[in-house]
Chain A
Amino acid sequence: MDDQAQAHEPAESPPPFDLDLRSKECDRVLDPDAQRFNFFLIDTGWNEPISKLVQKHFPKHLHHHSPKDQLFILTPEQSVEVLRQAPYEIGHDPVILVYDLYSRDVGKARNYKGFRLALGMIRHPEQAMARLQEFFRFLVMNRQSEHLDREIRRSLHREGFEGMIKILHESTPEIA
């Protein structure tokens, strides 16, 4: 496209672009300043208090903590359309999907890798906020991690007696 044609392109409708969410093989140390993730916020709006909280805080905090990464916010209509592909997630939104662009594991490269945070399963906004804060803490601390899936499993399994107590404490009142 020449410069003249670009000048006539309306500013509010940039051309669509290709997006490949599959992970790519990475055999070097990850650059902390490069893009690593694509974030998607899926929210039909059914869980209004949590939805308001996420829409207000998530984009702002993501911009502060992870400025190189891309965020896509789906409209309620787009969210409904996407959830048709994954009906088991209906009622769990707002859901944040995080697609990881890199994989150290050659076998897993070219697959979709990442993780999700289903905040719609939480009843109280304060508990959702605490989860969101924990999510950002995890992201920032593990941004350069070569095996992010392992870190997630480690943080979830919470082994030992102390881990069991933590599970009982964390899941008590918040989950619908």
Chain B
Amino acid sequence: MNGEEIPIALILVLGASALYFGFEVDRRRKKLHAIFDTFDKEESRIATALEAMVESGQLRPFSLIAQS
């Protein structure tokens, strides 16, 4: 009886660990995506605002030479 319970408990622990590991990797991958990723629709909305700022003259290209 005990001999059968130990492997089952071991399998359960290992299974739970694998599940936790999988979830944790996925969670951290999502965080990395939040830091560095390709554009989605929201950045397209920002782009329109940025274009308008440049066209109105409020925003100009930065020049390192002009700053020094």
Q: Name A residues whose Cβ lies closer than 8 Å to a Cβ of B.
A: 13-22, 40, 42, 59-60, 63, 70-74, 78, 81-82, 85-86, 88-89, 92, 97, 99, 111-119, 121-122, 131, 135, 149, 152-153, 156-158, 164, 167-168, 170-172, 175
The reply to whether the CB of B7 lies closer than 8 angstroms to some CB of chain A is no
* Size of B's binding interface in residues, CB under 8 A: 36
The reply to whether the CB of B2 lies closer than 8 angstroms to some CB of chain A is no
Query: Which 10 residue pairs are nearest across A and B when measured between Cβ atoms?
Result: A16-B57, A171-B28, A19-B54, A112-B44, A86-B42, A71-B62, A63-B64, A112-B47, A21-B47, A70-B61
Q: Which of B15-53 contact A (CB under 8 A)?
A: 21, 24-25, 28-29, 31-39, 42-51, 53
Nearest A residue to B58, CB-CB = A78
Give Cα distance in the complex from A130 to B35, angstroms.
13
Q: A156-B37, A167-B32 are in contact. Are A78 and B59 (CB under 8 A)?
A: yes
How close is A170's CB to chain B, nearest CB, in angstroms? 7
Give Cα distance in the complex from A8 to B56, angstroms.
21
Cβ of B32 and Cβ of A171 under 8 Å apart? yes
Cβ of B57 and Cβ of A116 under 8 Å apart? no
How close is B64's CB to chain A, nearest CB, in angstroms? 5
Give Cα distance in the complex from A112 to B63, angstroms.
24
Nearest A residue to B28, CB-CB = A171
Give Cα distance in the complex from A114 to B36, angstroms.
11
How close is A84's CB to chain B, nearest CB, in angstroms? 8
Give Cα distance in the complex from A99 to B47, angstroms.
9
Give Cα distance in the complex from A122 to B38, angstroms.
18
Using A40-B50, A171-B32 as known contacts, list a sample of 20 further A-B pairs with CB atoms less than 8 Å apart, ordered by residue number in A.
A16-B54, A16-B56, A17-B54, A21-B50, A59-B62, A71-B62, A72-B54, A74-B53, A81-B49, A82-B46, A85-B46, A88-B42, A89-B46, A112-B44, A115-B38, A117-B36, A131-B35, A149-B38, A156-B29, A164-B21
Nearest A residue to B29, CB-CB = A167
Q: A73-B62, A117-B36, A164-B25 are in contact. Are A19 and B51 (CB under 8 A)?
A: yes
Contacts of A122 in B (CB 8 A): 35
The reply to whether the CB of B55 lies closer than 8 angstroms to some CB of chain A is yes
Give Cα distance in the complex from A14 to B54, angstroms.
12
How close is A117's CB to chain B, nearest CB, in angstroms? 5
